[in-house]
Amino acid sequence: MTKETRQVSDYIARSTRWADEIRKLRSILLGSGLEEGLKWGKPCYMVEGRNVAIIQPFKDCCALMFFKGVLLEDTHGRLRSQGPNSRSARRLEFGNEREITKAVVRDYLTQAIRIEREGLKVEHEDEAPELPEELRERLREDRALCKAFESLTPGRQRGYAIHIGNAKQSKTRVSRIEKCIPAILAGKGLHDR
């Protein structure tokens, strides 16, 4: 048993919800020859060191998220978007262990492994994100911040724009900007450490 596998075993042992579903998904994923690790605090499965899928236990369901899910053919009509701001990930959602069908999971998994091995990329239009007015104003005022923000990848810019723009009140948007400035100046994304 590898170190990562022990970490995932420990993760499952600590799970108070969805443990049976996680075990069943894990069995299918490992049976497909994928490498196992714990990333973002969840069981993640890779091929040749590149992420293919991650198990996501939520309150209402247990999901298997495919990192390049938009490239999958939805042969069973089961793929769901992560949310309105997700551009590449898609997931299978399960309400209980009986809903996890090995043939269905393997069908999507086989596609995902092939996509990763072939080195296919998700093409995104690198459109500039819509920036909240408070952020645009702050970038106009602070040249160093503006330069640092512009040097971020489009995805990182988009992450900040969404995070800041989701605040309902202007004072909250301003507060979020202030909290994000050190990370932006360091060239980091919203969730980078």
Q: What is the CATH number of the domain that holds 11?
A: 3.90.1150.200
pLDDT tens figures, 126-183: 566 789 999 999 999 999 999 999 999 888 898 999 999 999 999 999 999 999 999 9
Q: How confident is the model at residue 67 (pLDDT cuts 50, 70, 90)?
A: very high
Measure the CA–CA gap between 90 and 14, rounded to whole angstroms.
Answer: 26
How large a percentage of the chain has pLDDT more than 70?
A: 94
The token pair that represents 25 in the structure block: 């998904």
The token pair that represents 164 in the structure block: 């800041």
50 and 21 co-located in one domain = yes
Do residues 32 and 110 lie in contact, with contact meaning Cβ atoms separated by under 8 Å? Answer: yes
- Of 67, 87, 117, the one marking the end of a domain is 117
| Among candidate residues 156, 169, 151, the one with its CA nearest the CA of residue 129 | 156
96 and 149 co-located in one domain = no
55 and 147 co-located in one domain = no
70 and 163 co-located in one domain = no
Q: If you search the block for the tokens 């507060």, which residue do you land on?
A: 175
The pLDDT score that the predictor gives to residue 127 is 63
61 and 36 co-located in one domain = yes
Measure the CA–CA gap between 75 and 33, rounded to whole angstroms.
Answer: 22
Q: How far apart are the first and last CA of the chain?
A: 29
Q: Which are the contacts of 16, defined by CB distance < 8 A and separation ≥ 6? A: none
84 and 145 co-located in one domain = no
Average pLDDT, the chain: 92
94 and 148 co-located in one domain = no
Please give the tally of structural domains in the chain. Answer: 2
Taking residues 46-62, report their average pLDDT: 96
61 and 112 co-located in one domain = yes
111 and 143 co-located in one domain = no
Identify which has the larger pLDDT, 84 or 25. Answer: 25
The pLDDT score that the predictor gives to residue 128 is 65
Query: Which residues on neighbouring strands pair with residue 55, listed in sequence order?
Result: 64
Say whether pTM exceeds 0.75: no
CA separation, residue 4 to residues 11, 25, 36, 49 (Å): 10, 16, 6, 13
Q: If you search the block for the tokens 């360091």, which residue do you land on?
A: 186
* In-domain check, residue 126: no
pLDDT tens figures, 82-128: 877 677 899 999 999 999 999 999 999 999 999 999 998 988 665 66
Q: Quote the longest CA-to-CA distance of the chain.
A: 57
* Domain around 146: 133-185
150 and 106 co-located in one domain = no
The pLDDT score that the predictor gives to residue 5 is 85
